[in-house]
Structure 1
Amino acid sequence: MKKYISLAAGVLALFAFTCCEDELTQLPLSQRTIENFYLTQSDFVQARNATYSVAFHGAGTYGYANRVLNLSETRSDNLYATTTASREWEGINSFYTNISTNTYVKEAYTSNYNAIYKANQLLEKLSEKGDLIFTNPADKTSMVAEARFLRAFCYFDLIRWFGRVPLIDRTMTAAEVANVKRTPVKDVYDFIISDLEQAIPDLLPAYDAANYGRVSKYGAKALLGLVYMTRSSPTYGIDGATLGLNEWDKAYQQLNDIKLSGLYTFGTDYANIFKIEGLTNKENVLTIPYTQSLPSSVGGNFMVEVGYEPYFASVNLSAQGSLEAKPVSTDLVNKFAATDLRKTFGIATSYTVATGTYKGSYTLPVFKKYIDPTRYGNGREDWGVDFMVIRYTDVLMMMAECTLHGGGGSQADVDDIVNKVRTRAGITPDAANITLDQLFAERRKEFFSEGTRWFDLIRSGKAVETMNAWKAVEDTDGKIRTIDNNALIYPIPLQEILAVPGLYDQNIGYD
């Protein structure tokens, strides 16, 4: 089911970059190495798979799922992740201004640009050799579309974290990249939209089980819809991803196409959304697959990011390295009704360890939504749990958000989807005249531990107001900094600033 990713392992080594991954850019391979590789259709398939692997699974320990849990979930009001130890996430949670060397921040920049490099190289070789090598032109066309999607996916990820970033649309030498300054966000958006608009017509609407995980036409439409929504959202007067462009109608159209396709279904059982994988799960719109305990295993470890060792021990799992908890905030726990099945399934509020190092009873609330012992493999980096980047419930609730901004649909549509979400959660469906604030509040309870909360706060236009109000109540220890608008994007990693002095300016507010 996860075949496309397993093929990437060997080619990642072949495509190793010739300079350190912490430098400003990665030197391209020698022409001889590239030419010796792109000789068969199988070579191109491996190159495509390697691009997927880096874009989704990252260039090292972390992948996209780890990234959004560390940089979105941990940054938000869902977790009160301060600690008595010195941990990388504390600077994220507490809004430190000296995090330009933070591991998570560096990974978000480096992995995305490594994937962009691979996508650029693949597109160039497809243009140069594809017509001669591919026996079926449609195979080449769909591969071009997938490469364009992956490049767009990475650039969108970059501007949501960092704002302005260098726009590199072809393979370059280090000397060439050393002259590319940070590009205005609007221009990067234009590039992203162009890539997605060119990709969507040539992507397949669905795949068979052997190709599960490759992006479909509707996965790309979901991303494009979110792109329009993000750049339409209220601007904060910074060089961030929200531009106030009011393109809610364009976003609604893309998302509505997904609904009209009939390929997806609103799941009736909340827990099953996270237990059922593959083609059977009709909530999956854009998913990153993982598998475990196979010769070509590509297991994940993203659930460890928000886990806690005593909880893992309570469900008879071996040590996962989650020695310091990232507790669910009291504010979030208290938002759920007593009957809300989402809390019961996704948050452990009490658990007991019978024997061993962590023997005892615990009441520290931690996320457990993605922790499924039946899909645990041979170690902390070998979980076979897929990560849903965008699921169908999200599509429907994003449509409701567009509707409330005047982008299409009706108030009745908004109330209907919120009532469906509440009914599935075991709550009496009582939604009427739902407002944007109420919709975001429902999204918080629906999508916690899925890496969306920080982005939702940004789109709400009330991120600073919400986080500072939350801090005033939650942060009794005074560990979290009061923020202003500049804290809504991350710093450019320090090694990028230092690589070519004067080329990049640092985001305002960071050391």
Structure 2
Amino acid sequence: MKKIKYLSIAILAIAFIVTSCSEDILEETPRDRFTPEFFQTEQGVEGGLTYLYQNMRNIYGDGYYLNMTETGTDEYAAAQSADNNFFDFDLTDQGNLSSQSGFAVGVVWGNSYRAINTASGIIENAAAVGLDESLIGEAQFFRAWYYFLLVQTYGGVPLDLGSGELQFNQSATRTSVRNTVPEVYARAILPDLEAAVDALPDTQRITGAVTKNVARLYLAQAYLTYAWWLENPNNIPTYPDTPRTDPNGNGAGYYFQQAYNTAILGIENPGPYELLDYFYDVHVATNDRHNEMLLYADRTEESQIYNGADIGFSGTGGSANTAAWMATSNYTTISVDGVAAVQREAAQSYGRPWTRMAPPINVFEETFDDKDNDSRYDATFVSSYRGNWDKAGDTTPTLTAANGLEIAPGDAVISFLDEYNPNVTYVNGGNIGGGEIPGRSDYVINLNEINRRFYPGLWKLGTYRTDNEGGLGSPNGAITRPYPIAKYSEFYLVAAEAAVKGASGGYTARQLVNVLRARAGMWRFDNGEQEERIEDNSTTLVNATPAVIDIDYILAERSREYFGEGKRWFDLVRTQKWQEYASSYQIGGNDASDHSPTTTNRTIEDYHYLRPVPLNQIDLLNMSAAEKAAYQNPGYQ
């Protein structure tokens, strides 16, 4: 593991922070490398800080990172166009998860250590160049944040990158020793986050910068995750092997209480953050960068250079922000009356269809069972695909669709039914398996009869552009929206989960959950019907909440709030519910006309609770074969 490869001083680009009072954005300037001398200048330290923000784009929005964190859970399975990158993580007999499993295995490892080393360089040199304490707090936040991501993914990881524990590594080294999970929490994650909470301001110094409450949320999450790790309810093994004891002598209960206390502080001291009134507004692209977003990986439509990916025609992976493509079914094969009725468009319900990840049927029958009162299904998925042939220049005014009825541009061509209708007659309508119901001009599909080829897309992360000029725009370009990483709403569910685990204070788990459920009952727009819907179902949802909340209910609420955003694998691993929730799933086959779901079984072993360390990193280690084998997480090759 020649650490210059992944702990590298060298990077492709950095950005300098604009600190004048007339500017409030991050302005990026290309530079080919960081050097130790560069960090000893104010410009260098500030440039390194901006790199820490830029680097988030290499993880969040990456389609293979979404695959690693969603495929194989109860939220997503391999879809019709999946390859081994996706089959491996689905853990069925079609794949074999290993240290060489495509692009996804190395996304976290490869991007985190560069940032950690940069953060250490900033922290070491900040005082010498007179950097403000709050900016040091930003570096401490990011070092802890990346270590938290690493420890959840791989278990214990190195704290010494070649120059001493948590020291800036100034030279290449090919040796490495993994610390234990408690050491990573006790020496790196918790101290840095606690220091960041103290040092960071309540409000953002520039748009998108971290604040006290951003650090507070991740501190609460770290306490919560570490508490579960110490408790280890299902005896899941860890690596490197170590007793489940805290170096500071505290038990799981202590950390559950700390998680609760910290989350409540975030709720009671919101600063510039708030819950939006409508769940729809949290995700509609025209409202990006709002006050519920605590942290996001930003992009821009204004400049391809500063966007970090091609805005005209992009591949995926890296900083391309094309994760939503993976969960988009191939709607472009919809044909009505000989016309390609639904075409690729740079709009939130459309985008580029890669058809790599499909939601299993349980998502719609169990997680999002109440689609009438709870707005979160409607504001998560594309439930109707609408005609846009006119935007491609086809002047045909109407097409003859289901039941011989006419549809015009903007009308639904194919819809997924909120409730099961036994009277659907499948006629392969729209050339994509649609059925008919008397009196409806759109073809329809029951949600419990979807398949791996055609299913509701992930609307919440969908494409958005302002330069379509009435046409289809550039749907093959990288998505230029910010990718959501953390939201103010998470404070409520972190505190509720800690309360379920025995923490106590002024709010019960039910009270905390019901804040979000009340919001979920508020409608202002029906996404599926594409029309205004002013409706308040808050009382209905609040009254339907069980009197006693358990961890299963918390996990259900987390899925309803954060479905498809890359949180689910971490949730199921933290609570050790993965096998229970995801060992099998139901969905139809690869043909659009297949409406006969079958059950697919997964083999989820205990060792899968850690991801494999990328083989290309281990191969660079100056170690014996036996030592390299011991460096890898058990169970993987």
Q: Decide: shared fold, TM above 0.5.
A: yes
For residue 33 of structure 2, the aligned residue among 1, 8, 14 is 14
Secondary structure of the 2:376 match is helix
Asked if 2 retains the 8 angstrom alpha-carbon contact of 1:142 and 1:203, the reply is yes
Match of 2:252 among 238, 241, 245: 245
Verify the 8 A CA contact 2:585 2:600 in the aligned structure 1. no
In the TM superposition, what is the alpha-carbon distance from 1:309 to its structure 2 partner? 4.6
Which secondary structure does the structure 2 equivalent of 1:389 belong to?
strand
1:274 maps to 283
**2:157–2:180 contact (8 Å) kept in structure 1:** yes
Are 1:338 and 2:384 counterparts?
no
State how far apart, in whole Å, the 2-side matches of 1:474 and 1:239 are. Answer: 36
Helix, strand or coil: the match of 1:373? coil
Provide the C-alpha distance between the structure 2 equivalents of 1:373 and 1:84, rounded to a whole number of angstroms. Answer: 24
> Which residue matches 2:514?
419
Q: CA deviation at 1:360?
A: 5.2
1:161 and 1:480 map into 2 onto residues whose CA distance is 23
- Residue 22 of structure 1: aligned partner: none
| Distance change (3 Å), C-alpha of 1:341 and 1:360 | farther
User: 1:218 offset after TM fit, Å?
Assistant: 0.8
Pick from 492, 495, 498: which aligns with 1:402? 498
Q: Summarize the alignment of residues 454-493 of structure 1 with structure 2, pairs less than 5 Å apart.
A: 454-468=569-583, 470-471=584-585, 481-493=602-614
Are residues 1:439 and 2:517 paired?
A: no
| Contact 1:82 1:479 (8 Å CA) reproduced | no
Give, in whole Å, the separation in 2 of the partners of 1:197 and 1:349.
43
Instruction: Show the 5 A alignment for 1:222-233.
Output: 222-233=217-228
CA RMSD of aligned residues (A): 3.3
1:321 Cα deviation from its structure 2 partner? 5.2
How far has the Cα of 1:231 moved from its partner?
Answer: 1.0
Residues 111-150 of structure 1 correspond to what in structure 2 (within 5 A)? Answer: 111-127=111-127, 129-130=128-129, 134=130, 139-150=131-142
Aligned to 2:155: 163
| Amino acid corresponding to residue 187 of structure 1 in structure 2 | E
Q: 1:192 aligns with which of 184, 189, 208?
A: 189
**Do residues 494 (structure 1) and 528 (structure 2) align?**
no
Alignment of 1:203-222 (within 5 A): 203-207=200-204, 211-222=206-217
Give the match for residue 20 of structure 1: none
What is the letter of the counterpart of residue 146 of structure 1? E
Equivalent residue, structure 1, for 2:592: none
What is the identity, as a one-letter code, of the residue corresponding to 1:418?
V
Structure 2 counterpart of 1:488, which letter? Y
Deviation readout 1:348-400 (Å, 9 max, x if unpaired): 244255558x9755652221112153467866454332223221221111111
**How far apart, in 1, do the equivalents of 2:362 and 2:25 lie?**
39
**Contact 1:331-1:474 within 8 A present in 2 as well:** no
Instruction: Give 3-state SS (helix, strand or coil) of 1:341's partner.
Output: coil
Bigger mean CA deviation after superposition, 435-444 or 477-486: 477-486
Structure 1: how far apart are the matches of 2:277 and 2:351?
A: 32
Q: State the match for 2:445 in structure 1.
A: none
Correspondences of 1:15-34 after superposition (within 5 Å): 15=34, 29=35, 34=36
Structure 1 letter corresponding to 2:548 = N
CA shift at 1:110, angstroms? Answer: 0.6
Residue in structure 1 matched with residue 459 of structure 2 by the alignment: 368
CA distance in 2, matches of 1:414, 1:196: 25
For residues 325 and 119 of structure 1, the distance between their equivalents in structure 2, rounded to whole angstroms, comes to 35
What amino acid is the match of 1:506?
Q
Distance change in 2, residues 1:49/1:227 (3 Å): same
1:317 aligned residue: 346
Q: Deviations over 1:110-134 (max 9, x none)?
A: 101111121122223324x31xxx4
Structure 1 pair 39–415 and aligned structure 2 pair: CA distance change class (3 A) = closer
Does structure 2 retain, via aligned residues, the 8 Å contact 1:149–1:220? yes
Q: CA deviation at 1:474?
A: 8.7
Residue of structure 1 in register with 2:4 after alignment: none
Residue among 597, 621, 631 paired with 1:505: 631
Unaligned runs of 5+ in 1: 16-28
SS of corresponding position for 1:7: strand
Gaps of at least 5 residues in structure 2 are 1-16, 161-165, 245-250, 309-320, 334-341, 393-412, 414-429, 435-453, 468-472, 522-536, 590-596
* Counterpart Cα distance in 2 of 1:316 and 1:53: 27
Matches of 1:390 and 1:269 in 2, distance apart? 17
The verdict on how the C-alpha distance between 1:65 and 1:408 changes in structure 2, with shifts beyond 3 A counting, is: farther
TM-score w.r.t. length of structure 1: 0.82
Aligned-pair CA distance for 1:219: 0.2
- Residues in 2 aligned to 1:480 and 1:164: alpha-carbon distance in whole angstroms: 30
What residue in structure 1 maps to residue 565 of structure 2? 450
The one-letter code of the counterpart of 1:182 is R
Using structure 2 for the length normalisation, give the TM-score. 0.67
- Give the counterpart letter for 1:261 in structure 2: N
- How far off is 1:240 after superposition? 6.2
3-state DSSP of counterpart to 1:180: coil
CA contact (8 A) 1:293 1:382 kept: no
Map of 2:448 onto structure 1: none
Partner AA of 1:186 in structure 2: P
Report the CA distance between 1:99 and its aligned residue. 2.8
Q: Is the 8 A contact 1:97 1:510 kept in 2?
A: no
CA distance 1:195–1:419, shift in 2 (3 Å): closer
Aligned residue number for residue 303 of structure 1: 324
2:288 is aligned with what amino acid? Answer: E
Secondary structure at the counterpart of residue 286 of structure 1: strand
Counterparts of 1:68-83 in structure 2 under 5 Å?
68-83=65-80
Amino acid at match of 1:69: L
Which has the larger helix fraction? Answer: 1
Distance 1:372 1:84 in 2: 20
Is the Cα contact below 8 Å between 1:6 and 1:298 reproduced in 2?
no
Q: Is the 8 A contact 1:70 1:104 kept in 2?
A: yes
Q: Aligned with 2:72: secondary structure?
A: coil
- Bigger CA drift: 340-349 or 416-425? 416-425
Larger Rg: 2
| Percentage of identical aligned residues | 23
Structure 1 residues 321-330 or 450-459, which shifts more? 321-330
Counterpart-to-counterpart distance in 1, 2:270 and 2:113:
35
| Count of aligned pairs between the two proteins | 473
* Distance across 2 between alignment mates of 1:479 and 1:99: 21
Structure 1 residues 144, 74: CA separation in 2 closer, same or farther (over 3 Å shift)?
same
- Shift of the alpha carbon at 1:162? 0.8
Q: Verify the 8 A CA contact 1:309 1:320 in the aligned structure 2.
A: no
1:100 maps to amino acid: S
- Give distance in 2, aligned partners of 1:408 and 1:314: 53
**Mean CA deviation greater in 229-238 or 413-422:** 413-422
Structure 1 residues 440, 304: CA separation in 2 closer, same or farther (over 3 Å shift)? same
1:245–1:434 distance in 2 versus 1, CA, 3 Å: closer
